[in-house]
Amino acid sequence: MMRRVIVLVVATILLAAPVVAQEQGQVEVGLFGRFTLLDRDLSLQNGPGLGARLGFFFVPRLALEADGAYTRVGVAGDDKVSVMPLHARLLWDIPAWDRVSLLLGAGYARYRYSGDLDESVSDDGFGGLIGFRFHECGPLSFRLEGTLDHFSDPELAVADERDADNWGVQFGASLFLGAKSTCDADGDGVTDKNDRCPRTPQGDAVDEYGCSLPKDGDGDGVLDPQDKCPDTPRGTKVDANGCPLPKDSDGDGVLDPQDKCPDTPKGTKVDASGCPLPKDSDGDGVMDPQDKCPNTPQGTKVDANGCPRVFEEGKKELILEGVNFETAKATLLPESKAILDKVAASLVNYPELKVEVAGHTDSRGAGDMNLKLSQARAEAVRDYLISQGVASSQLTAKGYGEDKPVADNATDDGRAKNRRVELVRMD
């Protein structure tokens, strides 16, 4: 049985709904009625009486308390005995339910007996208290409690060396000096005295007057009274009216309502309509849509169509600088082929262009031998260009030997310039 009581008390404490705790420094005064049940070994009758208490909360919920009561009870015959239970205890006020707290106390107990006895006697012992406090809105509260006081070898015991247990049931009222009203009928944290909205729905956040604060039902940061789109999905960015901001689904910097190309790949540069800007993939200065030669090597000079230029504007001859042969032979050196590859790429893009490959030598050696060598070298260049995709109908080859020098054959530098292959426009 005792175990069940302990479990019940602990559960009550753990599951308690909080009430306002008594403040530190609070003073409690009270009056109560008491019915005292004296141990049978004292040969005294039980009886009602009145009492008073005084307490001091030195920390919240914990007080030092003293009380005393007076009652007259019968004894054998017509004799009467005055009984004065006195207590000094430590009292723990534990919040339990709304406006109800559990009281637990323990401390010193003293009973003084006087009246129709040979002399007044007193017993000192240990006392315990358990009960409930019923809080009102202001300084008033009511207490219902039971006490048990234990004494070893009491003076009035019939038999020697017997212990006595006196019981008591008390009910009374207490005042907390200086306490303010705590009535809050709607539980919003604002006392009824100051509450201008006394029926606030449970859980609503309120202002200092107890009135509900504006809500933000969809959690978009715009309060309901100003929210013109009250059911915005969570996480959606909104404007000052609580309505979703336009999105930029493809992340190109142009909002969806204005984006005419809504699925632009990430990182693509776009125009004001969200559509990709034209690219210049080969970096020749001509945009891809207009570039008829989209893979021009870097650094190549191109025309308006993005194709490599064969001849500069206004000129009909192009000296193939760097196109060289083995000495006294018509065999192209490896580095010459790289230059001719570019020339071939240019000519392929101008199928209407007719070009003569002209071979020239310096003046050293016999004239007829130089003429044959220049012809062979011109044909070697023509054949290589045809092997790289140039139509044979575009090209003719002719050797001029030493007849058309461009520099003085008397110097090494002049002779090097005269040994050349040229392209000549035939239109």
Question: What whole-number distance in Å separates Cα of residue 380 and Cα of residue 146?
Answer: 127
Domain boundary among 117, 141, 176: 176
Given 176, 196, 231, the domain boundary residue is 176
Q: Residue 246 domain-assigned?
A: no
Q: The tokens of 187 are what? A: 């539980």
> Do 27 and 165 reside in the same domain of the chain?
yes
Q: Rounded to the nearest 5 degrees, what angle is found at the Cα of 419, between the Cα atoms of 413 and 421?
A: 135
pLDDT top residue among 259 and 45: 45
For residues 358 and 400, is the Cβ–Cβ distance under 8 A?
A: yes
Q: 314 vs 363, which has greater pLDDT?
A: 363
Q: Is residue 388 part of a domain?
A: yes
State whether 22 and 166 are in the same domain.
yes
In a domain, 222, yes or no: no
pLDDT higher than threshold 60 for residue 13: no
Instruction: For residue 413, count CB atoms less than 10 angstroms from its CB and return exposed for 0-12, middle for 13-18, buried for 19 or more.
Output: exposed
Mean predicted confidence (pLDDT) in 322-347: 85
Do 300 and 172 belong to one domain? Answer: no
Q: Mean pLDDT throughout 94-121?
A: 88
Burial 69-86 (b: 16+ CB within 10 A, else e): bebebebeeeeebbbbbb
**Residue 353 sits in a domain of what CATH number?**
3.30.1330.60
Please report the pLDDT score of residue 9 as a whole number.
Answer: 43
351: left (phi over 0), alpha (psi -120 to 50) or beta: alpha
Asked whether residue 168 is domain-assigned, the answer is: yes
Q: Kindly state whether residue 320 falls inside one of the protein's structural domains.
A: yes
Reply yes or no on whether the pLDDT at 187 is more than 90.
Answer: no
The domain of 331 spans: 295-425
Lowest mean pLDDT among 11-15, 78-82, 187-191, 414-418: 11-15
Poorest-pLDDT segment among 71-80, 169-178, 306-315: 306-315
Which of 38-47, 79-88, 160-169 is modeled with the greatest confidence?
A: 79-88
416 token code pair:
């090097």
Displacement of CA 280 from its chain's centroid (Å):
43
98 found inside a domain: yes
Residue 53 CA, chain-centre distance (Å), reads 56
Whether residue 8 is predicted with pLDDT greater than 60 in this model: the reply is no
pLDDT of residue 249 exceeding 80: no
* Most trustworthy range by pLDDT among 90-94, 96-100, 366-370: 90-94
Which range has the worst mean pLDDT, 184-188, 198-202, 395-399?
A: 184-188
Mean of pLDDT values over 220-244 = 78
Pairwise CA distance, residues 100 & 143, whole Å:
10
Phi-psi region of 77 (alpha: psi -120 to 50; beta: other; left: phi over 0): left
Euclidean distance between CA atoms 386 and 213, whole angstroms? 88
Task: Of 262, 244, 242, give the one whose Cα is nearest residue 252.
Answer: 262
CATH number, domain containing residue 156: 2.40.160.20
Examine the pLDDT at 296 and tell me if it is beyond 80. Answer: no
Check whether residue 20 and residue 158 sit in a common domain: yes
- Region of residue 148 (phi > 0: left; psi between -120 and 50: alpha; otherwise: beta): beta
Read off the pTM.
Answer: 0.44
The percentage of the chain sitting over the pLDDT mark of 90, rounded to a whole number, equals 24
What's the confidence (pLDDT) of residue 427?
A: 77
Domain annotation covers residue 59: yes
Other residues' Cβ atoms within 10 Å of the Cβ of residue 96: 19
pLDDT band at 84 (very low <50, low <70, confident <90, very high): very high
The CA-based diameter of the chain, rounded to the nearest angstrom, is 174
Which of the given ranges, 4-13, 128-137, 292-301, has the highest pLDDT on average? Answer: 128-137
> Does position 17 have pLDDT exceeding 50, yes or no?
no
Q: List, for residues 363-407, the tens digit of each pLDDT value.
A: 888 888 988 988 988 898 899 989 998 988 899 999 898 888 888
Q: What is the mean predicted confidence (pLDDT) over 206-223?
A: 76
User: Mean of the pLDDT values across residues 349-362?
Assistant: 88
Helix axes of 367-387 and 334-348: crossing angle, nearest 10 degrees = 60
Least confident of 92-96, 314-318, 350-354: 314-318
Q: What is the mean pLDDT of the chain?
A: 82
Residue, of 92 and 331, whose pLDDT is higher? 92
Of 108, 143, 176, which residue constitutes the final position of a domain? 176
- Counting the structural domains of the chain, the total is 2
User: Does the residue 119 lie in any domain?
Assistant: yes
